Structures are given as structure tokens and as C-alpha cells.
Amino acid sequence: MPISGLLLIDKDPDWTSHDVVAKVRGLAGTRRVGHAGTLDPMATGLLLLGLESATKLLTFLVGEDKTYLATIRLGASTVTDDRESEILQQAEPAKVAALTMPVIEQALAGLRGDIMQVPSSVSAIKVDGQRAYAKVRGGDEVKLAARPVTVSRFEVTSEARQVDGQFLDLDVVVDCSSGTYIRALARDLGAALGVGGHLTALRRTRIGRYTVDQATRLQDLSKEALPILPAAAAAAQQFAVKTLAPQDEVDLRHGKRLLLSEAERAGVSKLQPIAGINQAGSLVAMLERHGGQLKSLVVFADA
């Protein structure tokens, strides 16, 4: 039986997140595989997969902040806000060529911080019981409501490039909250500059404290060598840890709460989950603080 833990995948283009899950299920010999944070087929980079009981850990990871590297093409808008669909509108080449970095920077500044973002119409958000992308590709017009997101960094990382005398390509880095659509940032940057914009490349490099440097490409995996990060180590990388005494573990498995000492209260956040790890190094539970106590959010099977 595969061990419970996370498998960090560096996804290649043209694979859906579901494709990756299906492939890993075959390699690991288990149906108990899930992922945290979908990547579009066009995108590459970090995809977190949970195996066995660690699929429960994914619940606490989907909302973590993320980092992306992207290329935004200014000069045209598209149906899907990326290069995977036809052009809706194209700006005059002279207007695109006239863009300067100070003007672009001013537009970038308006898309940083706490903003209201209208998701891309081809997102996985459900509208009348159907995924938005399915309705759009079926020819329906979809209008989604704006939602709050946080973009803590949105910066150009290299010199802008003229393309075919018609477009301007910008390489950018984005640090953002979960639920932020990078395609929508490309769209909105192009709209703010009056020339249209869409993504031509997208790579996720970080989810919380996990980075793509830890990840493995699918082609390098085998049944004999799955680099699974054990559940306890995976939880400890992202969350604060409470080391459990033997009686603590017994109490948690019987639905009881744990008392926190004064010193522990000072070091434990009320906002972030806490990983309860026993003295044998196994993840027992994910916990949350309630006043001077810790309450289990989920308890993992006894290894």
C-alpha cells in the first residue's frame, strides 16, 4: 500500500489536472488520489497531489497563496483570455508600439493589492449547474460576478519584447491569493492600457511553502520510485506543529480537546491550522485553536 503523503508534480503542458491524477493512480495502485489547485492544460508547474489519507490534508492547502510566472501578450484580447482561442479584438500596432514602461507600470499598480476581480469566463466556476468554461465553449455568453482577491506582487521581470510588429510581450511574476485568475490579470492589464491582453504562457512555481523545485515531472515517475513526501513532513512544511504526548493522541482519537499552556497560547495562531504529530513522527490530526484549547478538524487513521 502506498504511504500517505503528498506528491509534488511539475506538470507538463497539454495535461489536465485530471490526467495527472489518473496517471498517478495507476502508478501508485490506489484510487485515493486527489489534487489541490487545478492547472489549465496550457499551464505548467506545481501541482500538489495527496495520496491515501493525505487527501484530507489537501483541504487545508487549496486556499494557500501561490506564485506564478507568466507571459502576457498586449495588443489583442481573446475569448478565453489566453492563446488557446481566437482573437476577439486587436489593437492598432502603432498604439501597442507607443506603450512605455511607466504607462505599463501605472496599469500594473492598479491591479495590485486587494482588488475585485471578474474571473475568466472559461473558469471552472459553476453557472446554473454547469462549469462556466463548458457554457462558453458551447456558445453561451457567461458573465461572472467580481470577487475579492489579493495580488501582493505583479511585476515585469524582463525587458518587453515586440512581436511581429503587432504585439508586446511582458514576462511577469505574480504572488496572489487562492482564487486569483492570472488570465484575468492579463485581460484586465490589456483593458487598462486600451489594447487588449491575454496569456501566452503560465507556470506555477509555489503553493504556500511548497515550491516547484521540490517537484518531479510525470515522465520521471515509476511504480518503484514515487517521491512521496510523508503526511507528517508535508504538514510540518506548511503549518505550525504541536508535538503530541501519547495521552494527547488518545484524547484526540476519542474526540476530546487538548488544553494549551500559557506559553503555547502565545505561539499558536487562532487563524492557521496546526499539525498534531505524535512522538513516532506520524500525523495524527489537523487542529484549530479555540481559546485555550485545541480542537481537531480532521483525525487521520492510526498508522
Residues 106 and 197 in one domain: yes
Judged against a pLDDT cut of 80, whether residue 181 lies above it is answered with yes
Average pLDDT over residues 6-18: 95
Q: Which of 40, 81, 188, 248 is catalytic?
A: 40
Question: Which has the minimum average pLDDT: 162-171, 205-214, 258-267?
Answer: 258-267
Number of compact structural domains in the chain: 3
Range of the domain at 42: 5-63+208-230
* 40 given a catalytic annotation: yes
Residues 219 and 200 in one domain: no
Judged against a pLDDT cut of 80, whether residue 269 lies above it is answered with no
Residues 108 and 144 in one domain: yes
The C-alpha atoms of residue 257 and residue 253 are separated, in whole angstroms, by 10
Domain end point (choices 172, 195, 230): 230
Residues 281 and 260 in one domain: yes
Judged against a pLDDT cut of 70, whether residue 133 lies above it is answered with no
Residues 195 and 76 in one domain: yes
Region of residue 39 (phi > 0: left; psi between -120 and 50: alpha; otherwise: beta): beta
Contact by Cβ (8 Å): 117, 181: yes
pLDDT band at 291 (very low <50, low <70, confident <90, very high): confident
Question: What is the reported pLDDT for 130?
Answer: 53
Question: What is the reported pLDDT for 2?
Answer: 65
Question: What is the reported pLDDT for 206?
Answer: 98
In CATH, what number is assigned to the domain containing residue 191? Answer: 3.30.2350.10
Residues 17 and 92 in one domain: no
Residues 70 and 182 in one domain: yes
Judged against a pLDDT cut of 80, whether residue 137 lies above it is answered with no
Average pLDDT over residues 260-268: 75
Residues 173 and 221 in one domain: no
- Contacts of residue 140, defined as CB under 8 A and 6 or more positions apart, other chains included, come to none
In CATH, what number is assigned to the domain containing residue 250? Answer: 2.30.130.10
User: Which of 241, 250, 300 has its CA nearest to residue 272?
Assistant: 241
Place of cell 495562531: 269
State the chain's mean pLDDT as an integer: 91
Residues 40 and 11 in one domain: yes
Residues 169 and 74 in one domain: yes
Judged against a pLDDT cut of 70, whether residue 139 lies above it is answered with no
Residues 99 and 218 in one domain: no
Judged against a pLDDT cut of 60, whether residue 140 lies above it is answered with no
Residues 222 and 195 in one domain: no
Residue type for 237, please? Q
